[in-house]
Structure 1
Amino acid sequence: MKYPYSPGINHIEFWVKDLETSMLFYGELFPMIGWYALNETSFSCGQHEIYFKQMPVEFCDSLGVRHICFHAISREVVDQVGEWLRKQNAAIIRGPQGMPHYSASYYTVDFRDPNGFVLEVAYTPEIKL
């Protein structure tokens, strides 16, 4: 049987405490790394979708992924994100920096979004998925 889609992630849903703040943050971050807006609360890279829903704090009690890493198409994109994060006074965990223990060309910036989610933007040309 032939399926219309290949295996992979259909979408990622973020529960956030402040939708407006999240949309301002991601509305600037995502275009830098090649994602585009589908509507006011959803983004896509052409293969995957991420959407956001504001939820009352009492409903946000689940544990989730440790972090999400987005592909960057160059080291310059990682540097651009790092510079933008500094201007936003975002919580940068590390980087932009090389991670030679992963691979010689691994270049990354790790940070927290306005909700405290850990995100990474990495250029990883030698990594095979």
Structure 2
Amino acid sequence: MSYKFGVGISHLEFWVKDLEESLLFYSKLFPLIGWYKLTRTSYSCGVHEVYFKEMPVAFHDSLGVRHICFHATSREMVNKVGEWLKSINGDIIRGPQPMPQYDSSYYTVDFRDPNGFVLEVAHMPDIKL
């Protein structure tokens, strides 16, 4: 039996407090890193899908992933994300900057989305997955 996709993650579902605010944020971020719109509430890079669902406040206290790192195909892509974040007064944690303690080629920007989710966009051409 053959499968269209190999092993890996199919999709990620983000529970958000304000769907419209999140969609506005991600509609600007995702094109900067090569993701495209699938539906009004979902995006893809061609292999993985991220979609958004508004949830009541009671669900905001659940534990989850510490952060999600998106691959950047160049340092320039990381810089464009950093510039965009600065232009919207985004919640930048660090960067854009090199992270030689991880690898000499690692270049990153870390930030929070409107829900407080920690995201990273990193160029890391020499790291083997």
Q: Give the TM-score normalised by the residue count of structure 2.
A: 0.97
CA RMSD of aligned residues (A): 0.8
Q: Which runs of structure 2 are paired with 1:1-129 in the superposition (5 Å)? A: 1-129=1-129
Superposed CA offset, 1:31-55 (max 9, x none): 0000000011000000000000000
Task: Give distance in 2, aligned partners of 1:47 and 1:115.
Answer: 25
Task: Name the amino acid aligned to 1:17.
Answer: K
Give the drift of 1:62. Answer: 1.3
Unaligned stretches of 5+ residues in structure 1: none
Moved over 2 A (4+): 1-5
Q: Percent identity?
A: 71
Task: Give distance in 1, aligned partners of 2:96 and 2:65.
Answer: 22
Unaligned stretches of 5+ residues in structure 2: none
Superposed CA offset, 1:74-121 (max 9, x none): 000000000100111111000000000111110000000000000000
Task: Give distance in 1, aligned partners of 2:50 and 2:3.
Answer: 22
Give the drift of 1:61. Answer: 2.4
Q: Give the TM-score normalised by the residue count of structure 1.
A: 0.97
Task: Give distance in 2, aligned partners of 1:59 and 1:66.
Answer: 16
Task: Give distance in 2, aligned partners of 1:57 and 1:83.
Answer: 31
